[in-house]
Structure 1
Amino acid sequence: MSGSSIWHPFTQHGLAEPIPLVERAQGAALFTADGRRIVDAISSWWVTTHGHAHPRIAAAIAEQVGNLDQIIFAGWTHKPAETLAAGLRAIMPPALTRVFFSDSGSTSVEVALKMALGYWLNRGEPRHRILVLEHGYHGDTIGAMSVGARGVFNRAYAPLLFDVETIPFPTVGGEQTTLDALDQACREGAAALIIEPLLLGAGGMLVYSAATLSEMRRICAQHGVLFIADEVMTAWGRTGTLLACEQAKIVPDILCLSKGLTGGAVPLAVTMAIEPIFAAHYGTDRSSMFFHSSSYTANPIACAAANANLAIWREEPVLERVADLARRQSKGLIMLQSQPGAINGRQLGTVTAIEIGDSNGYLSTLAPRLMSFFRERDVLLRPLGNTVYVMPPYCISDEDLDLVYDSIAEAIASM
């Protein structure tokens, strides 16, 4: 068990649920202190793409830590960051010319929001209204919570959150309602729309179409509203392509990346922006510069890990592995959909999700029962309420994937 003084995230310690001590990890498996091998079916909270302890990423970290571990990034630079920025420019949409480093998905969203507001202020048109998509989730810092769905996640912090305008989620058959609401909101002079492209993560693994995403982008462009794509979870192959935006053939004005940026090995994030947003902060007046940083901005070790990840993407058939995993996931999902009690099976790329019984939201009493059930079968799954999703590392074996889906099938039958 972990030390009793630790306060774990998203954990109600009063329930006295077991907290296994993990000693090492390899590929798609975690190994605990009591000798168990656990299949990591959610990529350790959606971050691990190529597998745990990937040798190329581990070697890059080891080499960098003995050379340059940390340096202030305000007014200084280093080769790992310069290499990473160039590498990102080479594989991301050409219009995204500027790379701003931070250290987590939430922070990359905070940066994006500040960039958008600074853009309008420095242009002499201080727009400040942010549009968001219903059920969205963008992190747990104050700005990120403000643009996420209101509810149990942030109820205690409501006095600190700024007002936003919520656009209805584009349900199947209800897409036009979403587009009409967005069009009206944009006409009224919003600063930006922030969305998770194609797949809403913590909101329940909700999927919507590329055609709808494309039309949302068109509406924003028509009215001059900045379009922020939060691809913290959806990028790096999760949805079947490098970026989810690719499937809608769109390019955002601002792009948020994290999680798989380093292959999941260490924390790092970037916010990429089009040139006019940078230009709005550029000049000789120091009061118009972009006021954001953290102590570990562009940490060299994290940048070295990200450079190793980019090398893997350049030199290895990652998208082929993604496509193969998507096919194998599809077989598992088809099997689950045949089970009585399984509802609303869905898949996007390497992510599958299915609901068990009726939902009572994130605090459904079914969720902890399911987590315990899977833990006893040596599978790491963390349901969102009654929604069970599978998002494994791309290297997961057939045997391990079968164990995951067999465990879910058994849970459906027993609960």
Structure 2
Amino acid sequence: MGASRHPDPEHLLEPCEPLITEVHHMRIFKNPDDTREAIRSSVRALCARFPPKYWRTLDAQREYPHEFVNALTEAGLLAALIPPEYGGTGLGLLEASTILGEINHLGGNASACHAQMYVMNVLLRHGSQEQKNRFLPEIAAGRLRLQAFAVTEPNSGSDTTAIETSAVKSGDRYIVNGQKIFISRVLQSDLLILLTRTTPRAEVRKKTDGMSVFLLDLRTTKGLEVRPIRTMLNHATNALFLENVEVPAENLIGEEGKGFSYILDGMNAERVLVAAEAIGDGQWFIEKAAAYAKERVVFGRPIGANQGVQFPIAKAHTALNAAALMTENAAVLFDSHQACAAEANMAKYLAAEAAWEAANVCMDTFGGYGFAEEYDVERKFREVRLFINAPVSRNMALAYISQHVLGLPRS
């Protein structure tokens, strides 16, 4: 029997040399691929300052990566979707997905800050000029944080039209009462996008009518109770209880009763961005597995010489690349203001499935060492599992495709 040699975890996937340090100074190339490579270089430079030990420590202590998010903000990365006239970079969803995907590809966790990207679209596309002038420059500069998006409720789950949180007009303000569940990063945000019912469900012709979107200033809001929920991963998750919360009427986004369509815009962006994150995680798993399979020696040769090890890695790599193409297609459609709900759902479904396959392949490749915290596989394994269920579960994505693409009866 040959000797077993095990590689040092600190020498797997060394960070690349940084080429660009700030998106604010990035040249926007005529070729989108050049722009995206410049973005990746900028993200690599920033992430090199936050090695695996940083994320490992935060995960163990269940702490929010304040330093990392602040660095992203200072580099202009979180202002990617904000137009230049408001102090942002003026990039599209394709570039924003590149940022988040590369963070996960390098071993970080973009879920800590991704909401600012997709929530931004609700404000950008449907907010008033006064709201944009008031909030966007402050968000771009990092003086305000918009990381919270409150839609899901205990009794509605994935059926957004069944929400019960109500907002009743009273003079120059709305009075809000209700509950929200699984709402992330509330304690790390200054602003929150909130979906409510302004017309009871029983009084609307279509169940998608009568919902409205508000922008809450969490610094001054009274009557909001935030209860953290401990989960299997470090995701800053909470339950919210709203009791007679007063929201100025000027904080209504768009038209009263039309909020469901506004939220869909944000959800399509969310699904594309989360798909990109899943692909980034999948790349991390595949590269980690391939590097380990080349260096781990058992029975006198690298385990990667065995087809039982190499074929699953190759299969996962192939599925991941297919998902990446669909995700890019959905982002391009979104940026050109074309219908993209089908593509966004397919991208999210394929990316989550491919990333989960890559995670399992990586865990199988590492064997027992995959369960050891020092290799980060178990941490990323827990993080990537979320994408199968949320945001939007794979069954909900398949239901949308069945009904709205294939024309099958509502299930």
**Could you say which structure has the greater relative contact order, defined with CA pairs below 8 angstroms and 6 or more residues apart?**
1
Which structure carries more helix by proportion? 2
Question: How does the TM-score come out when normalised to structure 2?
Answer: 0.26
**When the two structures are superposed, what TM-score results if normalisation uses the length of structure 1?**
0.25
